[in-house]
Structure 1
Amino acid sequence: MSACSEQTSKNELTKTNESSEDQRVGTKDGDKTKVVFWHSMGGKLQETLDSIVNKYNQSQNEYEIVAEYQGSYEEALTKLRSVGGTDDAPAIMQTFEVGTKYMIDSGFFEPIQTFIDKEDYEMDLLEENIINYYKVDGKFHSMPFNSSTPVLIYNKDAFTEVGLDENKAPRTYSEIKEAAKKLTSVNGNVTDRFGFSMLTYGWFFEQLLATQGGLYVDQNNGRSGDAENVLFNGEEGLRIFNLLNGMNQAGTFGNFGSNWDDIRAAFQSGKVAMYMDSSSGVRNAIENSPFEVGVGFIPHPDNMEPQGVVIGGASLWLSKGIDESIQDGAWNFMKYLQTPEIQAIWHVETGYFAITPAAYEEQLVKDEHSKYPQLKVTVDQLQSTKSQPATQGALISVFPESRQQVVTALENLYQGMAPQEALNQAARGTERAMEIANRTKNKE
């Protein structure tokens, strides 16, 4: 969620106390070198992260990681913009995947390729379809950390009730539409259960675009140069909007807005039978639903080979120009996070993918997948993804703004705007933002 590119539910988030010392990149005072780590993991995710940080701090006597929660990805990035490159910036910064281009262009961070090259660190041991996103211009600027992709989650009991095969998730658009029609239950003028829903969030649109092999922007999705033109309003994007528009008009699509809690509550209460969620939300859906839960790959247009998914979530960035011992501590911690043992804990307790495939061989993970076989579906979808610019994901410095343009387009679509018109408006808004960003960059 992506995400995941997804934002942690606000009512789960807890603030940590910030001292003036903790806000600095780190210190060398005392027995250990302190390394400040800004992150956006709230609620139970924060509990797991804090546990891992404590485990690391106790495992050696040289460094102390000081983990500080900074709000959502968007909120944390806003804070970073005001302190980047100063002593108030963190040594390690967690940023969502769509912030990658901005982080590179900012000049505040040392590419981790510097440290990879110093010691011949084997990035090839990490999951290929995860590192493909974060490899830009042949080098790594940040270390992948929490990674997720979207999946289709469905109510198996409802499938059985209407005569659908509970062990076969719909894959194509026509199968989704047909299943949604059967699953929708109307009582008078009230819809008791909608067949399908999707959060009003740009990440899911990006994924449905990529699995068609569709590019978000030009310049090979911004990976060959600074993108100038939007492509998401072409035929691939229009197929998505036509699908959603058709089901919305047919009354089989439930619009539950842009809050993750709302759409998850709708599913768990039986108000919607199928919806798209982050892979990191699968376990929560299973544990909190009073019915059997199924998980499938995201849908794709008929008569088309699906290309896979784009990795969502976030990566870790290492500040440039800070004390070398603090940089070394930050890098040491990043490597620790990638060990199979730690990745096994992270995967099992959070639902995020294991960055290191060897973690799936840990007994802890085998036991978890035996208990929750649905989790294996998310891994299968990721590992079957075909690497190409579409599934690597787009790189534009104004991606958060573009996502909001897509959200507005979806809202307009559900209010009756023509699919192509809604898409074109989002495209124009994105291109304006890209033009300003490119112009500003060229002046620097």
Structure 2
Amino acid sequence: MKKMLSLCLILALFAGLVLPVNAENPVEIIFWHSMGGVNGEAIVKMVDDFNKANEGKIKVNVEYQGTYDDAINKVKAAGMSAMPADVMQIYDIGSRFMIDSGWALPVQEMIDAENYDISQIEPNIAAYYTIDNKLYSMPFNSSTPLLYYNKTAFAEAGLDPDTPPTNFDEIIEMAEKLTIKDADGKITRWGYGMGNYGWFFEQWMGKMGLHYVNNDNGRSEEPATKVVFDENGGAAEVFKVWKKLFDEGIITYLGRGNTDAKAAFISGDIVITLESTAALKSLLTNVGDDFEIGTGFFPNIHPDDKGGVSIGGGSLWMLQTGDDARQKAAWEFIKYMISPDVQAFWNAQTGYFPITVATHELDAFKENLEKYPQFGTAIRQLHSTAPEYAGSLLSVFPEARSLVETYTERLINGEVTVDEAVEKLAAEVNSAIEIYNLTN
């Protein structure tokens, strides 16, 4: 793998722009990222290899900025004076803000300047970051949600371990067979469990083929001005599923986000759950030989839903530094980060999608897929989704996700009805959108 990375770097240098060689004064750029743990170690390795191959030409200073929220708040704080970085990893839901801010240099400008072949990027991944036929940022750590299940428990319960549920009717039916109770009737293993995660709400809107907000789902030249999930019935359908799961005793509450649900799945306390494709590697590592993990497509709300999932994760944004040499160097670095060999390394280390199509032809990628066949589900799901389900763009998505989780909690606690949850959620998100649009 290291030899492959080195070869990729050498080829990239000859294919790209020519920068002056000056061992004492290479063009220095700053790269902000939000990857911790193993993912962060992979980032450092990739940057180190780039710097070695570009010695005397480009030097990338890699700086970890904490969570995605931490990073985007730092750039917001610095934005009015000077851009703090040349390349920045920003999460999917920060895209609309970056577009509206005017602080980003759309990568489409660099693509057009050198006739860079954009067809090598997975079209369904590029679609998320493309607005009005302009690619604003370069996809990097891309993921979608998946259904994960304990194949060993399926077999023990008399279910086909190779046939995961595809919708909530099937989840409920299977969960009833998978749930285990002790002699006193206390549940010791739940058939199904999922975290209260606002991202899933967005995915179910897409799976139903419905928009989350107006103005072409926030993808028109004008940003969204209101949600439409209250008008098209999508929010009500999602909340009805949550209510049914609790009313019928199918699941127990596992908190906001996915931390508790992931831990419960690893320990065998739940059999079926939902998580990001990026969690596959860590789930396999933590479960070990305790049981066999299976994967399925993210489930539909209804059996006949015809929509698709959208990309999550993050992308690489170029910031408007006003320095031509640094911007050219930043573009060379971005091209390196998405090159096939580097993407094969990234995929093997993290579980994120390789965003470059040619990566699929490399032995390193094929070997990783053979070792972890569960990842093939993520690839098939990605390719089965039409670009029209690229997902929504919204400037206040962080606030909106938190509000979705708040009203999901209030619903399952019996504080509001489904209709009240939809009405109040829509009103509060609309208020946040209005305030943002008035002040930006």
Matching residue of 1:4:
none
TM superposition shift of 1:288: 1.6
Q: How do residues 82-161 of structure 1 correspond to structure 2 at under 5 angstroms?
A: 82-87=77-82, 89-161=84-156
* Cα contact 1:196–1:252 (8 A) shared by 2: yes
Matching residue of 2:51:
57
Matching residue of 1:361:
361
Matching residue of 1:168:
163
Distance (Å, rounded) in 2 between the aligned partners of 1:95 and 1:267: 29
TM superposition shift of 1:88: 5.6
Q: What is the letter of the counterpart of residue 215 of structure 1?
A: H
TM superposition shift of 1:54: 0.6
- 1:241 pairs with 2:236: no
Q: Which moved more, 1:411-420 or 1:287-296?
A: 411-420
* Cα contact 1:195–1:254 (8 A) shared by 2: no
Per-residue CA deviation, residues 299-323 of structure 1 (Å, 9 max, x unaligned), is 1133414322100011111111431
Relative to structure 1, is the Cα distance of residues 115 and 88 closer, same or farther in structure 2, using a 3 angstrom cutoff?
A: closer
Distance (Å, rounded) in 1 between the aligned partners of 2:397 and 2:305: 27
- 1:200 pairs with 2:199: no
SS in structure 2 at match of 1:353: coil
Q: Which moved more, 1:38-47 or 1:238-247?
A: 238-247
Per-residue CA deviation, residues 82-131 of structure 1 (Å, 9 max, x unaligned), is 11253461111111111111001111111111111110011111000000
TM superposition shift of 1:236: 2.2
SS in structure 1 at match of 2:387: coil
Q: What is the letter of the counterpart of residue 428 of structure 2?
A: G
* Cα contact 1:94–1:317 (8 A) shared by 2: yes
Which runs of no fewer than 5 residues in structure 1 stay unpaired? 1-27
Distance (Å, rounded) in 1 between the aligned partners of 2:140 and 2:281: 19
Matching residue of 1:268:
266
* Cα contact 1:406–1:423 (8 A) shared by 2: no
Matching residue of 1:299:
299
> How large is the Cα RMSD of the aligned pairs?
1.6
Matching residue of 1:7:
none
- 1:217 pairs with 2:217: no
Q: Which moved more, 1:281-290 or 1:139-148?
A: 281-290
- 1:439 pairs with 2:438: yes
Per-residue CA deviation, residues 274-319 of structure 1 (Å, 9 max, x unaligned), is 1100001112212221101100001113341432210001111111
Distance (Å, rounded) in 2 between the aligned partners of 1:306 and 1:371: 31
Identity across aligned pairs (percent)? 39
Which runs of no fewer than 5 residues in structure 2 stay unpaired? 1-21
Matching residue of 1:21:
none
SS in structure 2 at match of 1:31: coil
Q: What is the letter of the counterpart of residue 326 of structure 2?
A: I
SS in structure 2 at match of 1:198: coil
Distance (Å, rounded) in 2 between the aligned partners of 1:420 and 1:93: 40
Distance (Å, rounded) in 1 between the aligned partners of 2:248 and 2:24: 66
TM superposition shift of 1:140: 1.4
* Cα contact 2:91–2:313 (8 A) shared by 1: yes
* Cα contact 2:179–2:190 (8 A) shared by 1: yes
Distance (Å, rounded) in 2 between the aligned partners of 1:185 and 1:414: 23
* Cα contact 1:173–1:302 (8 A) shared by 2: yes
Distance (Å, rounded) in 2 between the aligned partners of 1:338 and 1:313: 15
Which of 224, 227, 232 aligns to 1:227? It is 224
Distance (Å, rounded) in 2 between the aligned partners of 1:398 and 1:29: 44
Distance (Å, rounded) in 2 between the aligned partners of 1:109 and 1:283: 32
Distance (Å, rounded) in 2 between the aligned partners of 1:320 and 1:158: 53
Q: Which moved more, 1:318-327 or 1:330-339?
A: 318-327
* Cα contact 2:204–2:301 (8 A) shared by 1: no
Distance (Å, rounded) in 2 between the aligned partners of 1:194 and 1:110: 48
Structure 1 runs, 4 residues or longer, greater than 6 Å off: none
Matching residue of 1:406:
404
Per-residue CA deviation, residues 177-210 of structure 1 (Å, 9 max, x unaligned), is 1111211222335321112222211111111110
Matching residue of 1:324:
324
Q: What is the letter of the counterpart of residue 114 of structure 2?
A: E
TM superposition shift of 1:152: 0.1
